[in-house]
Amino acid sequence: MIYAVVDTNVYVSSFISKNPQSPTKKVIEMMLDGTITPLYDEDILKEYDEVLKRKKFKVKETEVDRIINYVREYGIPTSRTSFPEPMPDETDRVFFEITLTVEESFLVTGNLKHYPRKPQVVTPAEFLNLFESNQV
């Protein structure tokens, strides 16, 4: 099983992308087809809800609710593992700390600069390359 925390920006990009082959769309499809098991906590779900429902993204509320309900139903609620070092973006700490809780999980993000660069923090394209080369 492949465990991943999917950063909010991946969902945003997936929703607004016109390219059906974009890495962000493929990552979300992998989650929805059960290839990726999402890890989450309530703070992550709150951020998904708040950010994805912003009018500027023009995402239907029903689509946001569908994603959140999917993550809640098929994902694994996880407690955070404290990371004592400063983060480049403290508001993203929860995503990184949830990733640290499950060994060999990934944090899939479009904002690598927001996180300490650890082996499990990858872009959607990097994640797909790892998956396609059977390294996950």
- A 10 A CB-CB count for 103 gives 7
Give the three-class secondary structure for 76.
strand
CATH number at residue 44: 3.40.50
Q: Full-prediction pTM beyond 0.85?
A: yes
At 136 the pLDDT is 74
pLDDT in tens, the chain (136 residues): 899 999 999 999 999 999 999 999 999 999 999 999 999 999 999 999 999 999 999 999 999 999 999 999 999 999 999 999 999 889 999 999 999 999 889 999 999 998 987 779 999 999 999 999 887 7
The predicted pLDDT at position 135 comes to 76
**Full residue range of the structural domain in which residue 77 is found:** 2-132
Q: How many CB atoms lie within 10 A of CB 61?
A: 10
pLDDT at 94: 96
Number of independent structural domains in the chain? 1
- Strands laid side by side in the 2-6 sheet: 76-77, 36-40, 2-6, 106-108, 121-122
